[in-house]
């Protein structure tokens, strides 16, 4: 917790209401970026170098309940988490940004219906749900723009999980972080499907935060990343408007692989992909050359997220047995 963060929170909360409840609760969806966030311009305020664009995962995400108590206690999926565990530490460190809630401690109960830290962006839904539950507990009545900025302090991708559907997180330019928040694109695509191909549940060897910093500091290829991200967001936005699935899929896949190429060119190299991830990438290419419209995206981990339309669900599921199919707009 830094003075800059404390001041930022104070500014966001100035003018907030004060209608406290005994318990605050909220659900936030997980999200998958189609054009990725990778690299920070300010670590304290968690400001990104580039904007990003995601799709939220509907009913897959995090439900959080929070109460005032004498001493802190954090539960994850029904089990009490050791106070030294990184999940508990990050949660409590975040809550200490809000000292004026009239309590010496918090009881936080978090239920994830997605694998924690397996590259399925559970910190995104986690911090978004935590901020929304806090808003409920304190009765601040903050708008979603402010909730998005507070969630950003916990985890960058959480700024996008405050909304459903397609979401853009604007990087912003202001050093004070007041123009860096997410906005919904307000576009439906009922036929849009995401298939989760789980390669590993293991925690990633290098977390996103350290991975990003290493990439920005050491990768020669990173110089071209912000410009690609900006181009890709524009292309994907236009593809969403036109319901042009091949353009969306191709741009999202290229964006993810460019991010991984950039990570690999860091030193020490960041290689999140495993051999099964590479096999799946080849299989997607084979399926496309056989005429099946399927694309992929990958986050900072080995798991593969397939992008396809409803009409191709059977073909994709046959090619990838055990695929978990998500309907983000249902
Ligand atoms: C994204 N990722 O846009 C990118 C793509 C992973 C790869 O946002 O340091 O947990 O907490 O702001 O949000 C994961 O990074 O990082 C992420 P912090 P975060 O979804």
296 C-alpha to ligand 1 centroid (Å): 17
The three-state secondary structure class of 296 is strand
| Torsion angle, alpha carbons of 221, 300, 240, 125, to 10 | -140
The pLDDT profile of the chain, 330 residues, written as one tens digit per residue, is 788 999 999 999 999 999 999 999 999 999 999 999 999 999 999 999 999 999 999 999 999 999 999 999 999 999 999 999 989 999 999 999 998 888 889 999 999 998 554 446 579 999 999 999 999 999 999 999 999 999 999 999 999 999 999 999 999 999 999 999 999 998 999 999 999 998 987 778 899 999 999 999 999 999 999 999 999 999 999 999 999 999 999 999 999 999 999 999 999 999 999 999 999 999 999 999 999 999 999 999 999 999 999 999 999 999 999 898 999 998
Q: What are phi and psi of 182, to 5 degrees?
A: -95, 155
Asked if 311 and 191 count as a contact pair (C-beta separation under 8 A), the reply is yes
pLDDT in the model for residue 121: 53
Does 157 sit in the ligand 1 pocket, CB within 6 Å? yes
Looking up tokens 């580039």, which residue turns up? 50
Does 260 sit in the ligand 1 pocket, CB within 6 Å? no
104 C-alpha to ligand 1 centroid (Å): 31
Strands 73-76 and 105-112: parallel
Angle of helix 86-95 relative to helix 144-154, nearest 10 degrees?
A: 130
Asked if 108 and 91 count as a contact pair (C-beta separation under 8 A), the reply is yes
Does 235 sit in the ligand 1 pocket, CB within 6 Å? no
Domain 192-326 matching CATH 3.40.50.1970: the answer reads: no
d(CA 79, CA 95): 20
102 C-alpha to ligand 1 centroid (Å): 32
Strands 23-35 and 52-69: antiparallel
8 CB-near residues (< 8 Å, 6+ apart): 45, 149, 153, 176, 177
167, 162, 165: which is closest to 194 by C-alpha? 165
329 C-alpha to ligand 1 centroid (Å): 22
d(CA 223, CA 50): 12
Query: Which H helix or E strand runs over 65?
Result: strand 52-69
Token pair in block for residue 258:
């460019």
Query: Best mutation site among 33, 41, 61, 121 for ligand 1, i.e. most ligand atoms within 8 A of its Cβ?
Result: 121
Looking at the chain, the number of H-run helices and the number of E-run strands are 9, 13
35 CB-near residues (< 8 Å, 6+ apart): 51, 52, 53, 229, 232, 233, 236, 251, 252, 255
| Cα R_g (the chain), whole angstroms | 19
Taking the CB of residue 279, how many other CB atoms lie within 10 A of it?
A: 12
Q: How many CA atoms lie within 13 A of 305 on its CB side?
A: 28
We find that the CATH architecture of domain 3-184 is 2-Layer Sandwich (3.30)
Looking at the chain, which residues constitute the CATH 3.30.230.10 domain(s)?
3-184
137, 275, 100, 118: which is closest to 202 by C-alpha? 118
pLDDT in the model for residue 104: 87
Q: Whose CA is nearest to atom 15 of ligand 1?
A: 208
Asked if 80 and 74 count as a contact pair (C-beta separation under 8 A), the reply is yes
119, 249, 118: which is closest to 194 by C-alpha? 249
Looking at the chain, which residues constitute the CATH 3.30.70.890 domain(s)?
192-326
């Amino acid at each position: 917790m830094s003075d800059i963060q404390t001041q930022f929170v104070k500014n966001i909360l100035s003018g907030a209401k004060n209608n406290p409840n005994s318990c605050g609760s909220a659900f936030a969806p997980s999200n998958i970026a189609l054009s990725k966030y990778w690299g920070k311009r300010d670590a304290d305020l968690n400001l990104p170098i580039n904007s990003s664009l995601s799709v939220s995962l509907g009913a897959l995400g995090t439900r959080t309940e929070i109460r005032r108590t004498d001493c802190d206690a954090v539960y994850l999926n029904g089990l009490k988490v050791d106070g030294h565990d990184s999940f508990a530490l990050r949660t409590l460190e975040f809550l200490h940004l809000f000292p004026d809630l009239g309590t010496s401690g918090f009881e936080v109960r978090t239920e994830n219906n997605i694998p924690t830290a397996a590259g399925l962006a559970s910190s995104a839904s986690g911090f978004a749900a935590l901020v929304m539950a806090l808003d409920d507990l304190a009765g601040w009545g903050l708008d979603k723009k402010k909730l998005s900025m507070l969630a950003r302090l916990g985890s960058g991708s959480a700024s996008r999980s405050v909304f459903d559907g397609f979401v853009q997180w604007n990087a912003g330019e202001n050093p004070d972080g007041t123009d860096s928040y997410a906005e919904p694109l307000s576009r439906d695509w009922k036929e849009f499907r995401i298939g989760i191909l789980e390669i590993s549940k293991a925690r990633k060897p290098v977390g996103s935060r350290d991975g990003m910093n290493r990439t920005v500091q050491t990768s020669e290829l990173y110089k071209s990343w912000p410009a690609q991200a900006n181009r890709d967001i524009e292309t994907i936005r236009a593809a969403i408007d036109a319901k042009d699935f091949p353009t969306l899929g191709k741009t999202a896949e290229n964006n993810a692989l460019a991010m991984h190429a950039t990570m690999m060119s860091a030193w020490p190299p960041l290689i999140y992909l495993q051999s099964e991830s590479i096999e799946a990438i080849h299989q997607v290419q084979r399926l496309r050359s056989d005429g099946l419209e399927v694309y992929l995206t990958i986050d900072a981990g080995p798991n593969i997220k397939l992008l396809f339309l409803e009409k191709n669900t059977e073909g994709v599921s046959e090619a990838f047995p055990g695929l978990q199919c998500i309907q983000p707009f249902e």
